Amino acid sequence: MRKRITYANVAATLALVFSMSGGALAATHYLINSTKQINPKVLKKLKGATGKTGATGATGATGATGPQGKEGPAGKGEKGLQGEPGPSNAYEVELSRSKSKVEAEGGASLVLANLPAGAYVIYGKATVDPEGGTGGTAECTLEAEKDIGFGTQAVDLAFAAVTVDTEVTHTFPATGTVTMMCSADNDQWALLAGAGGDTRIVAVHVGAAHKESEEAS
């Protein structure tokens, strides 16, 4: 062995050692520039746990309103049937000429007949003119079967005509009649019509009439 140890052998041995240590040194400085160079098992262990969600940030400013969209196509629904006309007919009768010099004990009447069955709001108006020498009271009743409306008006000494208004609500089960009867406690009086006054009955046909009774509080 001693005979074989020569300078060349020593130099070769040292060169081998330095080459091995240099490769190890180079290995410690190996540059990794892609995850493909790392073993998938090692790469999986290198990934950390997902962090907690941060707090919600402040709401941003509202954006500008966008342009209006195009109108959609018309629907394909069928047109509905037209309903029947509502009950809104009005019926009227007026005094054709004045009934003058009616005695105090007597009365004068006006009749609105042949009203079709149904519910009505009925108005009566009479112009009463005193012809006697004393004041008094003029009164009228508007009668539709069992429903009666009543109106009264004082007659003063100026001998001026007064207007008495009455009204009633009634439902006729069949064709019906409304009568307005007027009187006065003056010696003589007249029921006026035409240019001298207005005496009439007006009945308006409505959908339904609702009537309630209540005591005064």
Q: How far apart are CA 199 and CA 109, in angstroms?
A: 10
pLDDT at residue 1, rounded to an integer? 45
Q: What is the pLDDT along the chain (217 residues), one digit of tens a residue?
A: 455 666 666 666 666 655 555 544 444 556 677 777 777 777 677 776 677 888 888 888 888 888 888 888 887 878 888 777 665 799 999 998 888 778 767 788 999 999 999 999 999 999 988 776 666 788 999 999 999 999 998 877 556 788 999 999 999 999 999 999 998 887 778 888 887 788 999 999 998 777 777 777 7
Q: Which alpha helices (H) appear in the chain, and where do they start and end?
A: 7-28, 40-46
Residue type, 121: V
CB 98 within 8 A of CB 197: yes
Does domain 90-206 match CATH 3.40.640.10? Answer: no
Q: Sheet containing 108-115: give its strands across.
A: 108-115, 176-184, 136-144, 147-155
Query: How much is the pTM?
Result: 0.57
Residue type, 185: D
Which residues sit opposite 152 in a β-bridge? 139
Q: How far apart are CA 59 and CA 62, in angstroms?
A: 9
Which residues sit opposite 126 in a β-bridge? 164
CB 113 within 8 A of CB 200: no
pLDDT at residue 124, rounded to an integer? 96
